[in-house]
């Protein structure tokens, strides 16, 4: 089989296309013929300067494909199942940038009927991060479903990113009023297409006033990509007992928040990282995301607010560079041929 590998950390030039033997699934494992691989910032960051714990690593955590074989003791997956994958390379050297990937069975999730591999490969890190960000409020909900966020106002900082896009879609599906912040007219269009009820542009000295004008009683949940830049604004617009869930360090590696205003509002600052969040949170996200998929709540593509850019497997380095350089939308890699996915070429 063909696979992308690296044995040294560094720029995307460390990635190479090789031929490898197809590995059999061990007990509790599932082997998947990978159709599409999703690229996230965590993938290039791990490749660039992560702790290289294995002699050779296949990158990329997310993907989609068809179950090809199952190991001893696996009962939830069967050969021929269409599936989405998450945390494929977490604690293992075998990510999704290869034609066949072996994963623990609980990281392989059956797709509802009619859901495309483009949607499936776009889930994983973005959708599960968004789910966690929306379920850490002091007064719940701990799970997402229709009306679970009814009466709540959600502020999604960076609404045109992959996590922001998923957060908008999941929050709207769960009944919230969603305010998204973006940096351009193009991204404003994308956030509206994703379903945001209100979209506001930054930078803007009057941004807090604009948000409070939309939500005079305050924002209940903030999904935050840049706490170093937005911490004071978040506290200013937050409702009493509101939560700020931050998952990235865009625009700075540290942040300062107003102390009195934070404790006066009983603000909950909640960091989140899927790799350490725990199995209970991961499994809850899997179940709720699958329910949202059944409801058709997580479409992708430009018309749905998340433009897709495809690369062939041999151009995985270019795909990593596109994510590192801040490409708008979602970067996907077409891995297996004959999948029915049309891969646009520039």
Taking only the tens place, the pLDDT of each residue in 316-326 is 999 999 999 99
**CB–CB of 132/270 below 8 Å?**
no
d(CA 103, CA 92): 9
**Structural domain range at position 142:** 126-275
In this structure, the answer to whether residues 78 and 204 fall within a common structural domain is no
d(CA 187, CA 276): 31
In a domain, 159, yes or no: yes
- pLDDT value at residue 340: 41
In a domain, 293, yes or no: no
In this structure, the answer to whether residues 240 and 325 fall within a common structural domain is no
In this structure, the answer to whether residues 53 and 90 fall within a common structural domain is yes
**CB–CB of 154/133 below 8 Å?**
no
In this structure, the answer to whether residues 235 and 134 fall within a common structural domain is yes
In this structure, the answer to whether residues 42 and 151 fall within a common structural domain is no
In a domain, 346, yes or no: no
C-alpha pair distances (Å), 191 with each of 40, 169, 187, 203, 205:
19, 10, 6, 16, 21
Question: Residue holding tokens 């604009």?
Answer: 210
In this structure, the answer to whether residues 237 and 160 fall within a common structural domain is yes
- pLDDT value at residue 339: 41
In a domain, 115, yes or no: yes
Q: Which of 275, 298, 316 is the last residue in one of the domains? A: 275
Q: Which of 229, 259, 275 is the last residue in one of the domains? A: 275
In a domain, 270, yes or no: yes
pTM of the model: 0.95
In this structure, the answer to whether residues 87 and 152 fall within a common structural domain is no
Residue 94: name the closest of 44, 46, 39, 54 by CA: 54
Backbone angles phi, psi at 153, to 5 degrees: -110, 125
**CB–CB of 272/285 below 8 Å?**
no
Give the DSSP letter string of 75-105.
-S--TT-EEEE-STTTTSSB-SSBSEEEEEG
In this structure, the answer to whether residues 255 and 145 fall within a common structural domain is yes
Taking only the tens place, the pLDDT of each residue in 45-98 is 999 998 899 999 999 999 999 999 999 999 999 999 999 999 999 999 999 999
In a domain, 298, yes or no: no
Residue 327 belongs to domain with CATH number: 3.90.180.10
In this structure, the answer to whether residues 47 and 139 fall within a common structural domain is no
How many percent of the chain have pLDDT more than 90? 95
Backbone angles phi, psi at 123, to 5 degrees: -80, -120
In a domain, 281, yes or no: no
Cα Rg of the chain (Å, integer) = 20
Overall domain count for the chain: 2
**pLDDT values of the chain reduced to their tens digit, one per residue, 346 residues:** 999 999 999 999 999 999 999 999 999 999 999 999 999 999 999 999 988 999 999 999 999 999 999 999 999 999 999 999 999 999 999 999 999 999 999 999 999 999 999 999 999 999 999 999 999 999 999 999 999 999 999 999 999 999 999 999 999 999 999 999 999 999 999 999 999 999 999 999 999 999 999 999 999 999 999 999 999 999 999 999 999 999 999 989 999 999 999 999 999 999 999 999 999 999 999 999 999 999 999 999 999 999 999 999 999 999 999 999 999 999 999 998 544 444 443 3
Q: HSE on the CB side for 254, CA within 13 Å? A: 1
**Is 52 strand, coil or helix?**
coil
In a domain, 50, yes or no: yes
Taking only the tens place, the pLDDT of each residue in 252-282 is 999 999 999 999 999 999 999 999 999 999 9
In this structure, the answer to whether residues 75 and 201 fall within a common structural domain is no
In this structure, the answer to whether residues 202 and 328 fall within a common structural domain is no
Residue 140 belongs to domain with CATH number: 3.40.50.720
In this structure, the answer to whether residues 99 and 146 fall within a common structural domain is no
Cis peptide before 141 (omega within 30 of 0): yes
């Amino acid at each position: 089989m063909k696979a992308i590998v690296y044995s040294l950390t560094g720029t995307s030039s460390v990635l190479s296309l090789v031929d490898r033997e197809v590995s059999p699934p061990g007990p509790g494992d599932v082997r998947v013929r990978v159709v599409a691989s999703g690229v996230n910032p965590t993938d290039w960051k791990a490749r660039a300067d992560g702790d290289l714990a294995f002699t050779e690593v296949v990158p990329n955590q997310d993907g989609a494909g068809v179950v090809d074989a199952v190991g001893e003791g696996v009962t939830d997956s069967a050969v021929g199942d269409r599936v989405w994958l998450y945390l494929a390379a977490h604690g293992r050297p075998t990510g999704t940038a290869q034609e066949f990937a072996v994963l623990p069975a609980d990281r392989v999730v059956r797709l509802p009927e009619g859901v495309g591999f483009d949607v499936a490969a776009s889930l994983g890190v973005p959708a599960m991060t968004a789910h966690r960000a929306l379920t850490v409020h002091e007064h719940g909900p701990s799970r997402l479903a229709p009306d679970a966020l009814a009466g709540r106002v959600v502020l999604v900082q960076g609404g045109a990113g992959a996590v922001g896009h998923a957060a908008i879609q999941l929050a709207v599906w769960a009944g919230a009023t969603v305010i998204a912040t973006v940096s351009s007219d193009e991204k404003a269009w994308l956030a509206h297409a994703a379903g945001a009820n209100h979209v506001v542009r930054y930078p803007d000295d009057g941004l807090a006033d604009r948000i409070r004008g939309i939500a005079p009683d305050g924002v209940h949940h903030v999904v935050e990509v840049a706490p170093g830049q937005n911490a004071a604004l978040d506290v200013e617009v937050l409702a009493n007992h509101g939560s700020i869930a931050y998952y990235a360090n865009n625009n700075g590696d540290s942040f300062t928040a107003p102390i009195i205003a934070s404790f006066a509002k009983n603000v909950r600052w909640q960091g989140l990282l899927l790799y350490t969040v725990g199995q209970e949170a991961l499994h809850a996200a899997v179940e709720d995301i699958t329910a949202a998929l059944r409801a058709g709540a997580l479409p992708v593509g430009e018309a749905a607010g998340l433009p897709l850019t495809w690369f062939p497997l041999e151009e995985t380095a270019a795909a990593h560079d596109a994510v590192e350089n801040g490409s708008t939308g979602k970067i996907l890699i077409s891995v297996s041929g004959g999948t029915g996915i049309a891969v646009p070429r520039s």
